[in-house]
Amino acid sequence: MGPDPAVAAVRSAVREALAALPDDGLVLAACSGGSDSLALAGALAFEALRAGRPAGGVTIDHGLQDGSAGRADTVVRVMAGLGLDPAGSVAVVVGERGGPENAARDARYAALDETADRLRATAVLLGHTRDDQAETVLLGLARGSGSRSLAGMPPTFVRRLPPSGRGPLGPAPVPASRPGPGVLYVRPLLDLNRVTVRRACLAMDLDPWDDPHNDDPAYTRVRVRHEALPALERTLGPGVADSLARTARLLRDDADALDALAADALGPARDGGEGLAVPVLAGLPRAVRTRVLRTAAIDAGAAPGTLAAVHVDAVDRLVTAWRGQRHVDLPGGVRAFRRRDRLLFGEG
């Protein structure tokens, strides 16, 4: 008798993700202790053992709730019990920049980056599901941030951050190389819904922790999950989350092509001088130019999670409709301003 169909689906997704990795080095599961990431950790332990490759797990203690350190220790014990080695936790300090959700995410990824880099991990697996994707698309739509936001979360991405110091879980258990600079992240469960993944977690006899923050309406994503999406389902019929996720896949190809054009245009726009050359920017198609401006703003320190289309449009007017306006304030304490034929970014 085979495994529960939900377990089989999660294992199959993780198996495909492992097969697509560029080498047989260490793979880490990022595990919060919730049902999605626990199912991911259980499937990784099972599939990595079958494939004969090293696999570990890491949980991040954000320190935002009483008892968070104890819960992190519990997650570490569960991961170790699954056979993930190394298994450990990293405590972070969550700042305030960009709001609580963005600040927590930034702290979490910084800790995962450092851990993966010190362990020379080939990849870090994340437990985002199709429902998370649908929520992300709706949040992007609300921000009005363009097709890149509507393209949702990519199945894989690389965070190129410089290494720093010794990793919190110690040296790598085996030598492993990564493809290019940075840390590779993979979302194997992005085509599975949350109900299936939770069922898999329970079928693996894992006891998930339900974070109370996931039901706190103070968080925008929670309101999307418990209010906006159910309202859409009631109004438009079932399948809204699936349709949003499918829309994200369709838009991602378009967004990738435009982002590539913007990356090619960024160098000539900088042309070795300070800021960006306005004549070069003005000659670009608007869809490419706004992507160049967004990239430049983020490089200058603007918070990407709260940098919306309204901000980029205001910066674009410094290029196309400049009438001597002084500056544009951007999230993260960054200002964009024009000085003759140069568009500059600096602290506000």
User: For the CA atoms of the chain, what is the radius of gyration?
Assistant: 22
- Does 289 lie in the same domain as 141? no
User: Which CATH number do you get for residue 307?
Assistant: 3.30.465.60
Sign of CA dihedral 173, 115, 193, 133: negative
- Does 271 lie in the same domain as 187? no
Among 165, 189, 224, give the residue marking a domain's end: 224
- Does 201 lie in the same domain as 297? no
What is the DSSP secondary structure assignment for residue 213, as one 8-state letter? G
Q: Is residue 161 part of a domain?
A: yes
**Full domain range(s) for residue 109:** 5-224
State how far Cα 170 lies from the chain centre: 25
CB 230 within 8 A of CB 222: no
What integer pLDDT is reported at residue 174 of this predicted model?
A: 34
Sign of CA dihedral 20, 250, 253, 185: negative
- Does 215 lie in the same domain as 316? no
What integer pLDDT is reported at residue 98 of this predicted model?
A: 64
Q: Is residue 229 part of a domain?
A: no
Residues 314-323, buried b or exposed e (16+ Cβ, 10 A)? bbbebbeeee
What integer pLDDT is reported at residue 76 of this predicted model?
A: 97
pLDDT in tens, the chain (348 residues): 789 999 999 999 999 999 999 888 999 999 999 999 999 999 999 999 999 999 999 999 887 777 889 999 999 999 999 999 999 999 988 877 767 777 888 889 999 999 999 999 999 999 999 999 999 999 888 876 677 778 899 999 998 765 444 444 543 333 334 445 689 999 999 999 999 999 999 999 999 988 887 888 888 889 999 999 999 999 999 999 999 999 999 899 888 899 999 999 999 999 878 899 999 999 999 999 999 999 999 999 998 878 888 899 999 999 999 988 889 999 989 999 999 999 999 875
Q: Is residue 246 part of a domain?
A: no
Q: Is residue 233 part of a domain?
A: no
Q: Is residue 93 part of a domain?
A: yes
* 153 φ, ψ (degrees, to nearest 5): -90, 130
Q: Which residues contact 234 (CB under 8 A, 6 or more apart)?
A: none
How many CA atoms lie less than 13 Å away from 10 in the CB half-sphere?
A: 33
Q: Is residue 75 part of a domain?
A: yes
CB 128 within 8 A of CB 153: yes
What is the number of other CB atoms lying within 10 angstroms of the CB of residue 345?
23
Domain count, the chain: 2
